[in-house]
Chains A and B, each alone.
Chain A
Amino acid sequence: MHEMSIAVSIVDIAVKTAQEAEAQKINAITVELGALAGVVPEALEFCFEAACKETIAEGAKLELIHLPALAKCTSCGFEFETDQFLNVCPECKAQVLAAGGQELQVKSINVD
């Protein structure tokens, strides 16, 4: 599980930005997480709390914005959202690879 390293990176980015803004405390950190980013949301949430300890983000809320991957069927052109790399087109049953869904970005922080 690499979610601990990712949680630490998220907190580092947030704390650095908050300190530059001379904020005293981080209330919430908003993170965009793609369905194919290779991160398990529950594991990230679990690690996040520990990563915030002894920083100005201690007790901060993690707000995850889940982004789906998109798949466009090369046979019939049907487009659909998915959370899998490999998909079967719901319309024509052809095999379709997903695109996108790799987002892993700190969007914003709420500070005091």
Chain B
Amino acid sequence: MCDTCGCGEHEDKITYQRPGQTSHSHTHTHGDHEHTHEHNHDHDHEHDHNHSHEHNHTHPHDHDHGKTIQIETDVMQKNNLLAERNRGFFEARNILTLNLVSSPGSGKTTLLEKTIQQLKDKINFYVIEGDQQTLRDAERINAVGAPVIQVNTGNGCHLDASMINHAVKELNPAADSVLLIENVGNLVCPSLFDLGEAHKVVIISVTEGDDKPLKYPTMFRNSDICIINKIDLLPYVDFDVQVCKEYALQVNRGLQFFELSASKGEGMEAWFKWLKEQLHSE
């Protein structure tokens, strides 16, 4: 299908797995309905699911008498309705939900690790990790002591509201907590899919170009927080923080910035302070 990111299968290969578990659940789509089921199996073999079957349709080819039916339905309606259901659940339980989006390699997982390590005595964290493949990020989060579920999207290039709905049911986050959703590393596709989060946080690292906000305006426009990460590397790279911020503000005047180095700790206090304030004001 898509040569850019490999996306292109129907959403029938999504898996949800928690570190240390031998069972995982799948979502299958059969035409216009969807169901989920869980099964145990050893993971030392390849497996494949095939639910294809023959259909017998009649195919009339006279289109002159076709009837036009007006619909006027937003294509994203199903996702957006489900996102609002997620949002309602988060609000009712006072769960602050952040959707972290960025290119691959901007330091999202490191930011989560350091945030959880520093604040876990004060805040209950839960994490949903989105990646096409592997449990690697979930294992990193599990190692710092936060309950985590890994959503593997297979060939999918973004998380959507239905994946979050499913993952949250398995993760079952407690009231008065923070749910961090690490989206699939991709600066394009996740921008269009509301998950029900309180804030979309876009992360850009200084090893990327400072003109990224102009090249990928949709993501910066749809986010309300912008973290500029890896600032400890500024002396070694051709990245102008002020220029980057000006570009980002041209696209979205309401953006709030944090400049930090998740790995070295510089600038993290302001981010921690903001996070604590959000939880109390929610």
Which A residues contact B (CB, under 8 angstroms)? Answer: 1-6, 8-10, 12-19, 21, 23-25, 27-28, 31, 36, 38, 43, 46-47, 50-51, 54-56, 58-59, 85-86, 95, 97, 104-112
Contacts A1-B7, A24-B58, A38-B192 given; does A13 touch B73 at CB 8 Å: yes
The distance from the CB of B215 to the nearest CB of chain A, in whole angstroms, is 11
Q: Is the interface of B mostly helix, strand, loop or mixed?
A: loop
A66 nearest CB across to chain B (Å): 15
CA distance A103 to B98 in the complex (A): 26
Distance to closest chain B CB from A4 (angstroms):
5
Kindly list chain A residues whose C-beta atoms are within 8 Å of the C-beta of B59. Answer: 25, 59
A17 contacts which chain B residues (CB < 8 A)? 69, 71, 73
B21 on interface, CB distance cutoff 8 Å: no
Complex contacts, A2 vs chain B, CB 8 Å: 7, 157-158, 188-189, 192-193
Residues of B within 8 Å of A97, CB to CB, are 250
Besides A5-B193, A85-B221, A111-B68, 18 other A-B contacts (C-beta < 8 A): A2-B157, A2-B188, A6-B75, A13-B75, A25-B59, A43-B2, A47-B8, A50-B8, A86-B217, A95-B250, A105-B73, A106-B72, A107-B72, A108-B71, A108-B72, A110-B68, A111-B66, A112-B60
- The interface size bin for chain B is 35 or more
Report chain A residues within 8 Å CB of B77.
13
Q: Mark B148-162, 1 if CB is under 8 A from A, else 0.
A: 000000001110100
With A95-B250, A107-B70, A110-B66 in contact, is A4–B1 under 8 Å at CB? yes
Chain A residue, CB-CB nearest to B79: A9
With contacts A2-B157, A54-B55 taken as known, whether A112 is within 8 angstroms of B67 at the C-beta atoms is yes
A55-B188 in contact (CB<8A): no
